[in-house]
Structure 1
Amino acid sequence: MTIKVAVFDAYGTLFDVAAAARRASREPGGAALAAHWQELAATWRDKQLQYTWLRAITGQHEPFWRVTVDALDYALEAHGLSEQATLRDRLLALYRELDAYPEVPEMLSRLRAGGLPTAILSNGSPEMLLDAVTSAGIGDLLDAVLSVEDVGVYKPDARVYSMVGARFDCTPKEVLFVSSNGWDAAGAAGFGFRTIWVNRAGLPMDRLPDRPAHVLTDLESVPELATAP
């Protein structure tokens, strides 16, 4: 079936979630972070995802910004940096303006040039997504930015994936969904999307009932897969 819309997860897929810690470690005053910014970034991301799953399971939804702050506080304490208030504030500010991966603007431009609408479907809060999209300068390359806040639950709940069909008047099989999270790509595949897992880190495939149709190491070849039979 012909693909009618290309939809992307935001954090880790279009935007580099490690960028905040990396940039903070290189700034004046970042010495405390310089030696292990990668470890802090990984803990921050792991807890951020874990908290979304736990909140979805327990029905205790909070906006993604709250989850992001809580995850950072955990990560700072875990790495002995909980007393660094200035660093905490800077990391949170930088998270609102994460770097997009280098191939993102051209890849989105190629999809749009081929007549395919593009969208974000993200756990992110609307204001967070607006900041990230604006900072990356890709707003004019997106037809929609969809946030889970409209349904009040996090991925991989089916109510999140159903937002795409409601917005673009299409069936699941007419959606190409791209995520850097293996569990997200699997969840979307189970919903009926044609999915791509962007496996930048070379991780093993998640042992889940559904699997992505394609696995890539970056986003460059997404336009070709979007038009493949």
Structure 2
Amino acid sequence: MITLAFDVYGTLIDTQGIQVTLAEIIGDEQQANAISRRWREKQLEYSFRRALMEHYQPFSVCTRQALDYALREAKVNLNQSQLDSLLAAYRTLPAYQDAQDLLQQLQSNDARAFAFTNGEAKVASDLLTHAELIEYLDGIVSVDVLRTFKPSPRVYHHFSEATDSAANQTWLISGNPFDIIGARQAGWRTAWVQRDNALFDPWGEEPDVTVQSLSELPEKLAL
């Protein structure tokens, strides 16, 4: 039986869904789009830097600090109530349209499906519950217990231990190239979801499978 490890942010959950709340607060859709993308970039950068420094703070802290940076860079000043509203909205981000249909379909076969995330388990649980995805998953594996982040080799080993999965029978499903490369180094199979015509990092590593939508996975993985 194969095990499917679904990344959450950027794979099942659309991080750019925060643009709606941002636009409502700052009143400028174009600027909201730019801030949203910068927020996501800095969120990931902060997680990478903290992992390298071995100076851990939870992903929610990286998220809050990244928002502070993105707003300062854009010279947008928000009051505490507005900041709280944005951070609350980040915990209720929408699922991608293809996520629920795919997870529902997987329930009719033998594959096990887990969420695998940098986010804290409670945050991920709330997020996936709000997005109406959690009922289709066999569980959530958070890297928070390790006090580091993807793509540390330790997180992929932790997933295998937590789910009693063999590396060569585990597929990472992710829209994030850094995650795909990390999983390949751990001996996993990988499926990259190429969201928004993104480019894959030119590191001499390639995913086993590339799809434009999660709906392509059953055929590509022969599920």
Match of 1:91 in 2: 86
Shift in CA distance, 182/68, structure 1 to aligned 2, threshold 3 Å = same
Instruction: Find out whether 1:61 has 2:86 as its counterpart.
Output: no
Q: Is the 8 A contact 1:96 1:131 kept in 2?
A: yes
TM-score, structure 1 length as denominator? 0.92
Match of 1:208 in 2: 203
Give aligned-pair identity as a percent: 30
Match of 2:192 in 1: 197
1:47 is aligned, of 23, 42, 48, to 42
CA distance in 1, matches of 2:171, 2:217: 9
Greater alpha carbon shift after TM alignment, 95-104 vs 81-90: 81-90
TM-score, structure 2 length as denominator? 0.94
CA distance in 2, matches of 1:52, 1:31: 26
Give how far 1:205 is off: 2.0
Instruction: Find out whether 1:116 has 2:98 as its counterpart.
Output: no
Runs of 4+ residues deviating >4 angstroms: none
CA distance in 2, matches of 1:9, 1:177: 7
Q: Which runs of 5+ in 2 are unaligned?
A: none
CA distance in 2, matches of 1:134, 1:185: 25
| Letter aligned with residue 127 of structure 1 | K
Q: Is the 8 A contact 2:117 2:142 kept in 1?
A: yes
Greater alpha carbon shift after TM alignment, 53-62 vs 80-89: 80-89
Greater alpha carbon shift after TM alignment, 114-123 vs 204-213: 204-213
Report the secondary structure of 2:69's partner residue. helix
Match of 2:18 in 1: 20
Match of 2:152 in 1: 157
Coordinate RMSD, CA, aligned: 1.5
Q: Is the 8 A contact 1:103 1:219 kept in 2?
A: yes
CA distance in 2, matches of 1:31, 1:54: 29
Q: Is the 8 A contact 2:18 2:89 kept in 1?
A: yes
| Letter aligned with residue 217 of structure 1 | Q
Give how far 1:21 is off: 2.3
Give how far 1:189 is off: 1.1
Report the secondary structure of 1:220's partner residue. helix
Match of 1:130 in 2: 125
Aligned residues: 223
Match of 1:4 in 2: 2
Match of 1:223 in 2: 218
Greater alpha carbon shift after TM alignment, 10-19 vs 183-192: 183-192
> Deviations along 1:100-131, whole A, 9 cap, x unmatched?
00111110111121121100111011121011
Match of 2:33 in 1: 38
Report the secondary structure of 2:46's partner residue. helix
| Letter aligned with residue 2 of structure 2 | K
Match of 1:166 in 2: 161
2:98 is aligned, of 103, 110, 115, to 103
Q: Which runs of 5+ in 1 are unaligned?
A: none
> Deviations along 1:60-105, whole A, 9 cap, x unmatched?
0110001100000001111111344333222111000000001111
> Deviations along 1:47-71, whole A, 9 cap, x unmatched?
0000011001110011000110000
Q: Is the 8 A contact 2:26 2:32 kept in 1?
A: no
Report the secondary structure of 1:113's partner residue. coil
